[in-house]
Chain A
Amino acid sequence: GQQLNQSPQSMFIQEGEDVSMNCTSSSIFNTWLWYKQDPGEGPVLLIALYKAGELTSNGRLTAQFGITRKDSFLNISASIPSDVGIYFCAGRDTGNQFYFGTGTSLTVIP
């Protein structure tokens, strides 16, 4: 199965800065998802996107479903120390299969 191209692989930022990460696929998806994973824990769903062009916010997080249905981005505004973790994108196809990016490791420096 395919793995999605997620970038950047890692980020080191100052507290208060904004963060942007994105994900691309060679296939079309009908759902894009963004998860955060803390060490030793399972991924937690942050945002789900269901329509091409959709822009959705969850607090300081904003994500968009690309118009081509082959990409998505996640922005985090005004980062805080608890934003530290690994962020994964995922796409769902029409067969209810999910494909994951390789993750973006975020470090926030106080």
Chain B
Amino acid sequence: DGGITQSPKYLFRKEGQNVTLSCEQNLNHDAMYWYRQDPGQGLRLIYYSQIVNDFQKGDIAEGYSVSREKKESFPLTVTSAQKNPTAFYLCASNVGPGQGAQPQHFGDGTRLSIL
């Protein structure tokens, strides 16, 4: 089945450690996005990529990094510079710009906690 796979489901980070969240899609979508969700809040955009080998900062990019070397993969690294990383992280994708108005589809999320 086509979809977006995020892994792991749960992740724990020690102080000073970098961790990487995986996001893979087999929908042949050009655009991919990372959001952070805190309790009782909406989704805040961390990074997005409209095409392979290109990505842009979102509203809360500080302390995070991404890469987009392959169309189907958009990993997110939470660095030690992110002082409050505990949150639910959601990856999404859509067909991309200039391809008609199409919705975003989401993965099942990764919950990151501090040890």
Contact = CB atoms under 8 A, between A and B. Distances in A.
A88 B33 CA distance: 17
Interface range, A side: 20 to 34
Most chain B CB within 10 A, of A33, A45, A50, A97, is at A97
Interface of A: 1, 3-4, 6, 30-31, 33, 35, 40-45, 48, 50, 88, 90, 92, 95-98, 100-103
Nearest to A39: B88
A70 to B, nearest CB: 16
Contacts, number: 61
Contacts of B43: 88, 100
Contacts of A1: 44-45, 58-59
Interface in B84-102: 88, 90, 92, 94, 96-97, 101-102
B12 to A, nearest CB: 16
Most chain A CB within 10 A, of B50, B94, B101, is at B101
B68 interface: no
B71 to A, nearest CB: 16
